[in-house]
Amino acid sequence: MIGRLNKTTSRLAIATIASVVASGAFAADLGGNCCADLEERVAELEATTAKKGNRKVKLTVSGQVNEAILFWDDGRERNAYVVSNNFGRTRFRFVGDATINSDWSAGYLLEIGVRYANAGNRSQLSASGSAITSSNGNNSFDIRHSAWWLDSKTYGRLWVGNTSTATDGITEISLANVIAGGNDGSNYLGGFRLRNATGALTNVTHSSIRSGNFNAGEGDRNNVIKYVSPTFQGFTFSAAWGDEEQWDVAIRYAGEFSGFRFAAGVGYQENRSQNTAGAAGCANVGGNGTPATTESSVDCNDIGLSASVFHIPTGLFLNGSYGRAQDNNRSNFATSNPGSGKFRSEDDHWFVQGGIERNYFGIGKSTLFAQYVSASTGAAIGGGARSSAAAGGGFAALGAGGFVSDAGIREFGVGFNQEVSAAALDLYVTYFHVDADVTTSATGGQNGKTRATGNTFDAVVLGAIIRF
């Protein structure tokens, strides 16, 4: 009985549809040849639409735009610039992903950074806050990532190309939504120059008195072969080898328990590149403490670590990091300077940030935070050989002594970040106060050091980041 009813119902439905079609009940009239018209419209759309090279690789296009106003005061001069915020600067990326089988897949990452009016390159000499011209390479696109990967759920992922090393981001782990904040002040004041005792500008920048323009212990992007293990019990291991005898390893952890989220990581890196120009943060010196004129190995190693804890019920969070960079070649500075005292061979930094993050207004997470950073470096500030403090040298007009012995900064900041989740938008404002010092001696050693200059610097970064 049920079978007969189903057959009868089906016949009635078919008859009804046929009747509607025959009676011309469709109001739309697409002309005498509807299919030809549709094909023409599809062809027009295809002609104006970006297409993938093939249908086997899934393509995802994404990126972000991060622009801000930088208000600054160096104690003698104050101004405001419109900048591309280097705390997560503007970029766009293409990610390809193809499934091979249930275990294996392959893909690629191509990410282009945009350097226009980069906050990290602004200075007192930037004309009206305008963009740095392309003639010095700072108003341009740059390749952040260009690499392919082969991934196995069982064995992990292999990367080949220009991409993050194992320690990239190892001192920047955070579970909070903080945009304009963190342990690297070079992102907003790197190009600004210190002033001497008379108030005149020197050639010493805030970036140069950090370890190779980065925080000690932090990794970077490079041409590498990198392996990343599968995650096991919250732990992930990675290792990379790059051009010029650079390698690093790192281990990271992320987990959640008893109402807390926790993330941490520690990494170690070595650089022994054969490069007469030296490497960032590493001296490449001959016996007299000057740059080598023939190929000579640099001899640097770094360790960096960071951790973040977030209390889910209250939104309270705490982040911290530490890094140390060891440059074994700085002992060569003393070869032609017997009795000059020890040359500082270590750079370091430590950082703490805490605050609260909750959805107070119903539009997204609100994050209020405060932070403190201390960073210092030795005689070869900014890398290379001993840093001259004499008039006409790379660090002119500092005052006492002929060479820089060491330098450092102490930075305090407070900030607020408001997420607008419906628009993939974050609005932020952060205030920073920085104290910077440079000390010198006759040789750059630790004997007879004299404080040459000390500066304060205040800045406010106000802006927004929108993602796509």
Copy the structure tokens of residue 466: 């929108």
User: Is there a contact between 137 and 206 (Cβ–Cβ < 8 Å)?
Assistant: no
Identify the helix (H) or strand (E) that includes residue 44.
helix 34-47
Copy the structure tokens of residue 326: 């060891």
What is the per-residue pLDDT for 342? 85
Global pTM reads 0.84
What distance in Å separates the CA atoms of residue 384 and residue 404, rounded to the nearest whole number? 13
Characterize 277-297 residue by residue with b for buried, 16 or more Cβ atoms within 10 angstroms of its Cβ, and e for exposed: ebbbbbbbbeeebeebeeebb
What distance in Å separates the CA atoms of residue 324 and residue 372, rounded to the nearest whole number? 17
User: Is there a contact between 345 and 378 (Cβ–Cβ < 8 Å)?
Assistant: yes
End-to-end Cα distance, the chain: 58
What is the per-residue pLDDT for 336? 62
Match 């993938």 to its residue by tokens: 52
- Written as tens digits, the pLDDT of the chain (468 aa) is 444 444 444 444 444 444 434 444 444 444 556 677 777 777 776 666 556 677 789 999 999 999 999 999 999 999 999 999 988 999 999 999 999 999 999 999 999 998 788 888 889 988 544 444 443 445 678 999 999 999 999 999 999 999 999 999 999 999 999 999 999 888 888 889 888 777 888 878 888 887 655 688 999 999 999 999 999 999 999 999 997 678 999 999 999 999 999 999 999 999 877 654 444 557 665 544 454 444 556 788 999 999 999 999 999 999 999 999 998 888 777 766 666 778 888 899 999 999 999 999 999 999 999 999 999 988 877 666 777 776 544 555 565 568 888 888 999 999 999 999 999 999 999 999 999 988 888 888 888 888 877 889 999 999 999 999
Give Cα 357 to chain centroid, integer Å: 22
What distance in Å separates the CA atoms of residue 11 and residue 115, rounded to the nearest whole number? 68
Cα 437 to Cα 20, 210, 377, 414, 460, distances in angstroms? 87, 12, 11, 22, 21
Identify the helix (H) or strand (E) that includes residue 193.
strand 193-195
What is the per-residue pLDDT for 129? 43
In the DSSP assignment, the letter for residue 229 is P
Reduce the DSSP state of residue 458 to 3 states and report it. Answer: strand
Domains of the chain: 59-467 (2.40.160.10)
Q: Where are the beta strands (DSSP E) in 85-192?
A: 91-99, 104-115, 140-152, 156-164
Match 């500082």 to its residue by tokens: 344
What distance in Å separates the CA atoms of residue 36 and residue 16, rounded to the nearest whole number? 28
- Count CB atoms within 10 A of the CB of residue 145: 20
**β-sheet bridge partners, residue 269:** 248, 302
